[in-house]
Amino acid sequence: MAMLEVKNIHTYYGNIHALKGVSLHVDQGEIVTLIGANGAGKTTTLRTISGLLKPRQGTIFLNGDDLTKYPDHEIVYQGIAMVPEGRGVFSRLTVLENIELGAYSRSDRGEIEANTQRVFQMFPRLEERAKQVAGTLSGGEQQMLATGRALMANPKILLMDEPSMGLAPILVEGVFDTIVEINKEGTTILLVEQNALMALQVADRGYVIQTGEIVLNDTAENLRRNPEVQSAYLGIN
């Protein structure tokens, strides 16, 4: 059984049919990436999985439990955390306060402290700036903070939406190194990323979405070699 299984979801924005029967799965321990053009439905898929949007049709299972029966604020309790597009840090709170907010769904204080230290070990820059207001961090530091905050929920699966967006090229490789490190430590990841080449380099498998429909899925290596993917998303003609 897949850890995460999305079956035939249809999601709307008003009368706009954004997702048209999207199905995908993520097995425990995998990095799976969802690639596609702007407006194809990548972020909508993650927002639907995380409960921020409710599908009109279809089901979403996490370890066999149907997530669509839960209100959005309870999805994190089931084991899903999201690093949103644009990072979404609480700009007026300190770095440490942002990190602590990531653990709001938990009551195991001792483990929370251990997780905080894990985040600081992964992102030493955050420990150096623990008392600094988050809104004054650089874009790269805010991405570290958003990722660290999500990890504080101790998720079974981490949803990452465009983690390299807006970052200087010199920082992008570090973001993907971090994704690999998080995965090696045991966290399953579903990654949406405009930088398809980098995403397919770190992922095990991938899906291609076009106008709200999955049109292709394969191993990441096979997708990298696919002439249509190369032409449309990797800049290779």
CATH of domain 4-15+26-43+68-233: 3.40.50.300
pLDDT at 33 over 90: yes
pLDDT per position as a tens digit, 184-201: 999 999 999 989 999 999
pLDDT at 107 over 80: no
CA distances from 130 to 22, 121, 146, 178, 202 (A): 40, 13, 14, 19, 30
pLDDT in the model for residue 161:
92
The answer to pTM > 0.85 is yes
How far apart are the C-alpha atoms of 160 and 50, rounded to whole Å? Answer: 11
pLDDT at 224 over 80: yes
pLDDT per position as a tens digit, 45-83: 999 999 999 999 999 999 999 999 999 888 988 999 989
How far apart are the C-alpha atoms of 176 and 193, rounded to whole Å? Answer: 10
Q: Taking the domains of the chain in order of start, what are their residue ranges?
A: 4-15+26-43+68-233
